[in-house]
Amino acid sequence: MALILTRALRGAIATLLIAAAPAHAADSTPTPRLSVGNPVAGAAWSADNVCKECHNPDGNSSVAEYPRLGGQYSAYLFKQLQDFRDGRRKNVIMQALTQDIGDRDLADIAAHFAAQPVMTGSAAVANPQGKRLFEAGDPARQIPACAACHGADGKGALAGKLAYPAIGGQHRYYLRGQLQGWKTGTRSNSPDGIMNGIARALGEADIEALADYLSGL
């Protein structure tokens, strides 16, 4: 039996939803990581669909090519899901899975994963080059410190309405792939293209070092 809700059923559910814009339900407690959506509704949606097949029920995927989502900022996840659906971020699988999902459901899915334990690395990685770039950047090459936006522990940060994602504890394979995507331009959905500019200044050895170090945080 297919795990994905049929388009007709999703449409029927959508007609029962009152709020037009994603927001916390009255029984949800807003936290810095949980600013949009209803995690209870999101948990039910995720359980009935395929999210858990790749990302695990708690969002902390055990497969390197699928990102860990646990404890990620809901505002960030919501934007990424919208970007997949609307074609601003390219991934054949995610574009297909999100194409018929409205903002309310996307916000709830994001809230569900944001409410899970924050991703953590399985073991600290001693990589001096990665640690240096993360903590101090490289001013000579105009590379800012990753920690300046993503937090001293790599678990993300909020700046007004902008959510800088948690990257510490993410899969090394996934981190490397995203940095390479920013560098080559195959991914280009960061605000004002900031990540593309930073990644273009990174060499392959920098990318490997950062992915290695960040995966252990």
Q: Where are the domains of the chain?
A: 7-114, 128-215
- 8 Å CB contact between 178 and 187: yes
Distance CA 183, CA 6 (A): 37
Instruction: Reply yes or no on whether the pLDDT at 24 is more than 70.
Output: no
- 8 Å CB contact between 125 and 112: no
Distance CA 162, CA 100 (A): 26
128-215: what fold? Cytochrome Bc1 Complex; Chain D, domain 2 (1.10.760)
Query: Does CATH number 1.10.3720.10 belong to domain 7-114?
Result: no
Distance CA 146, CA 64 (A): 22
Higher pLDDT, 35 or 183: 183
Instruction: Reply yes or no on whether the pLDDT at 87 is more than 70.
Output: yes
Instruction: Reply yes or no on whether the pLDDT at 189 is more than 50.
Output: yes
Instruction: Reply yes or no on whether the pLDDT at 125 is more than 80.
Output: yes
Residues in the chain: 217
Q: Do domains 7-114 and 128-215 have the same CATH topology?
A: yes
- 8 Å CB contact between 190 and 100: no
